[in-house]
Amino acid sequence: MTQNCKPNCCNSNSEKIYVKGTLHDIEVGMKEITLADKSLPKVRIYDTGGEWSANTKPDVNKGVKRLREPWIKKRANEGQTLTQMALAKQGIITPEMEYVAIRESLGHMKNGSYLITPELVRSEVAAGRAVIPANINHPEAEPMIIGNRFLTKINTNIGNSALGSDIDREVEKAIYSCLLGGDTLMDLSTGNNIHQTRDRIIRNCPVPIGTVPIYQSLEKVNGIAEELTWNIYRQTLIEQCEQGVDYFTIHAGLLKNYVSLTSKRLTGIVSRGGSIMAKWMIANGEENFLYTHFEDICEILAKYDTAVSLGDGLRPGSIHDANDQAQFAELATLGELTKIARQHNVQVLIEGPGHIPMNKIKENVERQQELCHSAPFYTLGPLTTDIAPGYDHITSAIGAALIGWYGTAMLCYVTPKEHLALPDKEDVRNGIIAYKIAAHAADLAKGHPSAQERDDSMSRARFDFRWNDQFNLALDPERAREYFGKSSHGNDFCTMCGPNFCAMRISHQIADEQKKHSQNQ
Amino acid sequence: MTQNCKPNCCNSNSEKIYVKGTLHDIEVGMKEITLADKSLPKVRIYDTGGEWSANTKPDVNKGVKRLREPWIKKRANEGQTLTQMALAKQGIITPEMEYVAIRESLGHMKNGSYLITPELVRSEVAAGRAVIPANINHPEAEPMIIGNRFLTKINTNIGNSALGSDIDREVEKAIYSCLLGGDTLMDLSTGNNIHQTRDRIIRNCPVPIGTVPIYQSLEKVNGIAEELTWNIYRQTLIEQCEQGVDYFTIHAGLLKNYVSLTSKRLTGIVSRGGSIMAKWMIANGEENFLYTHFEDICEILAKYDTAVSLGDGLRPGSIHDANDQAQFAELATLGELTKIARQHNVQVLIEGPGHIPMNKIKENVERQQELCHSAPFYTLGPLTTDIAPGYDHITSAIGAALIGWYGTAMLCYVTPKEHLALPDKEDVRNGIIAYKIAAHAADLAKGHPSAQERDDSMSRARFDFRWNDQFNLALDPERAREYFGKSSHGNDFCTMCGPNFCAMRISHQIADEQKKHSQNQ
Chain A residue with CA closest to B445: the answer is A359
Number of neighbouring beta carbons within 10 Å of residue B521: 5
Nearest to A266 among B218, B268, B459 (CB): B459
Nearest to A456 among B262, B266, B470 (CB): B266
Beta bridge partners of A146: A131
pLDDT score at A8:
46
- Residues A320, B446: C-beta atoms closer than 8 Å: no
Gap between the Cα atoms of A493 and A476, Å rounded: 22
Question: Is the per-residue pLDDT at B194 higher than 60?
Answer: yes
Chain A residue with CA closest to B224: the answer is A500
| Rg, chain B, Cα only | 24
- Residues B317, A462: C-beta atoms closer than 8 Å: yes
- Residues A357, B164: C-beta atoms closer than 8 Å: no
pLDDT score at A42:
96
Nearest to A421 among B268, B398, B484 (CB): B484
Q: Are A178 and A243 spatial neighbours (Cβ–Cβ below 8 Å)?
A: no
How many distinct helices (H) and strands (E) make up chain A? 19, 16
For B361-389, what is the mean pLDDT?
98
- The widest CA-to-CA distance across chain B, in whole angstroms, is 91
- Residues B398, A395: C-beta atoms closer than 8 Å: no
Mean pLDDT of successive 10-residue stretches along chain A, which has 521 residues: 41 90 97 95 96 90 96 89 91 98 96 96 98 97 98 93 75 94 94 89 97 96 96 98 98 97 94 96 96 98 97 98 98 98 98 97 98 98 98 98 98 96 92 98 95 97 94 96 75 72 86 78 60
Lowest model confidence (mean pLDDT) among A127-131, B186-190, B366-370: B186-190
SS (H, E, C) A241-263: HHHCCCEEEECCCCCHHHHHHHC
Quickly list DSSP for A294-309.
HHHHHHHHHHHT-EEE
Which of B279, B453, B459 has the highest number of chain A CBs within 10 A, making it the mutation to test binding with A?
A: B459
Contacts B476 to A, Cβ<8 Å:
388, 390-391
Beta bridge partners of B158: B187
Confidence of residue B500 (pLDDT cuts 50, 70, 90): confident
Nearest to A437 among B162, B395, B458 (CB): B395
Alpha carbon of B264 to those of A69, A202, A243, B325, B360: distances in Å? 50, 49, 55, 10, 19
pLDDT score at B8:
46
What does the pLDDT look like over B434-472, one tens digit per residue?
999 999 999 999 999 889 999 999 999 999 999 999 999
- Residues A487, B401: C-beta atoms closer than 8 Å: no
Contacts A165 to B, Cβ<8 Å:
none
Contacts A404 to B, Cβ<8 Å:
none
Which of A189, A386, A395 has the highest number of chain B CBs within 10 A, making it the mutation to test binding with B?
A: A386
Gap between the Cα atoms of A43 and A472, Å rounded: 10
Contacts B397 to A, Cβ<8 Å:
394, 397-398
Contacts B434 to A, Cβ<8 Å:
391, 394
- Residues A389, B470: C-beta atoms closer than 8 Å: yes
What does the pLDDT look like over B91-118, one tens digit per residue?
999 999 999 999 999 999 999 999 999 9
Which of B166, B180, B254, B496 has the highest number of chain A CBs within 10 A, making it the mutation to test binding with A?
A: B496
CB proximity list for B339: less than 8 A, separation 6 or greater: B373
- Residues A390, B260: C-beta atoms closer than 8 Å: no
- Residues A507, B460: C-beta atoms closer than 8 Å: no
Question: Is the per-residue pLDDT at B7 higher than 50?
Answer: no
pLDDT score at A208:
98
Q: Are A382 and A404 spatial neighbours (Cβ–Cβ below 8 Å)?
A: no
For B234-257, what is the mean pLDDT?
98
Contacts B423 to A, Cβ<8 Å:
none
pLDDT score at B175:
95
Confidence of residue B489 (pLDDT cuts 50, 70, 90): low
- Residues B511, A442: C-beta atoms closer than 8 Å: no
In chain A the first and final C-alpha atoms are separated, in Å, by 54
Chain B nearest C-alpha distance from A450 (Å): 14
Chain B nearest C-alpha distance from A472 (Å): 10
- Residues B496, A421: C-beta atoms closer than 8 Å: yes
Contacts A507 to B, Cβ<8 Å:
262, 267-270, 275, 278
For B474-488, what is the mean pLDDT?
87
- Residues B276, A317: C-beta atoms closer than 8 Å: no
Confidence of residue B485 (pLDDT cuts 50, 70, 90): confident
pLDDT score at A225:
95
Average pLDDT, chain B: 93
What does the pLDDT look like over B124-174, one tens digit per residue?
999 999 999 999 999 999 999 999 999 999 999 988 766 656 888 889 999
- Residues A357, B441: C-beta atoms closer than 8 Å: yes
Chain A nearest C-alpha distance from B482 (Å): 9
Gap between the Cα atoms of B323 and B362, Å rounded: 11
- What percent of chain B stands above pLDDT 70? 95
pLDDT score at A82:
76
Gap between the Cα atoms of A464 and A459, Å rounded: 9
- Residues A318, B514: C-beta atoms closer than 8 Å: no
Chain B nearest C-alpha distance from A145 (Å): 23
Chain A nearest C-alpha distance from B79 (Å): 42
Gap between the Cα atoms of B182 and B189, Å rounded: 18
pLDDT score at B488:
55
Closest CA to B398 of B438, B365, B362: B438
